[in-house]
């Protein structure tokens, strides 16, 4: 039986055998990026320049997008400090959740929404598109990174290197907020039936 387990581990490959630390490093590094991004929102001068950024993002956009950018340009002009610091605060909270593995399910879903909002307003959907366009903006890429974290969580299970894991050990229902796959306690794993190999004739 032990030889069979070792054989399966070798067949799984290096990435699968090291999925636990790799997905944690991926999450933490992504959190550090958000930490820097959120900290930059509190830099001097951003509040004053923010309405101009949103207005510029709407320039040369298709006519059917003008109401969208007109609305957000008016919001940015009326309350620039609120939107800059509110966004920065959300990014710092998101960074904390990613780095320490806290409320990951909510953080990942909220991160998708926040990334898409950043992409859709100050980044202007990465457009306008035409001759000279070089990329589609970072917001949509960030959203896809959160989707990847969701896939890792659902595919490889809960991360042992997270606050959620330790909270969930004490209060199992915490997994509703933390994981896309329910944590199975070790005693339940031991009680699962083991598939026996067929005996030779």
Biggest CA pair distance of the chain: 82
**In this structure, what are the phi and psi dihedrals at residue 18, rounded to the nearest 5 degrees?**
-110, 25
Give 183's pLDDT tier (boundaries 50, 70, 90). very low
Consecutive H or E run containing 158 = none
Residues 6+ apart with CB under 8 A from 98: 27, 28, 30, 31, 34, 104, 107, 111
Question: Mind listing the pLDDT tens digit for each residue in 94-120?
Answer: 999 999 999 999 999 999 999 999 999
pLDDT at residue 177 above 50? Answer: yes
Q: What is the pLDDT of residue 22?
A: 79
Domain boundaries, the chain: 20-126+136-191
The structure's pTM equals 0.78
């Amino acid at each position: 039986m032990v030889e069979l387990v070792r054989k399966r581990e070798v067949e799984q490959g290096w990435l699968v055998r090291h999925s636990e630390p790799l997905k944690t490093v991926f999450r933490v590094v992504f959190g550090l990026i958000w930490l820097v991004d959120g900290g930059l929102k509190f830099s001097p001068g951003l509040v004053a320049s923010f309405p101009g950024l949103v207005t510029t993002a709407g320039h040369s956009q298709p006519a059917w997008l003008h109401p969208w950018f007109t609305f957000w340009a008016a919001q940015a002009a009326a309350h620039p400090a609120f939107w800059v610091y509110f966004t920065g605060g959300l990014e710092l909270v998101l960074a904390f959740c990613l780095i320490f593995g806290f409320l990951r399910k909510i953080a990942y879903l909220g991160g998708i929404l926040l990334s898409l909002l950043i992409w859709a307003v100050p980044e202007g959907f990465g457009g306008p598109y035409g001759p000279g366009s070089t990329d589609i903006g970072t917001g949509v890429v960030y959203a896809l990174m959160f989707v990847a974290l969701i896939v890792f969580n659902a595919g490889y299970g809960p991360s042992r290197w997270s606050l959620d894991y330790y909270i969930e050990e004490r209060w199992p229902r915490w997994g509703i907020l933390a994981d896309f796959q329910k944590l199975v306690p070790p005693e339940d794993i031991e009680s699962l039936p083991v598939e026996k190999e067929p005996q030779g004739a």
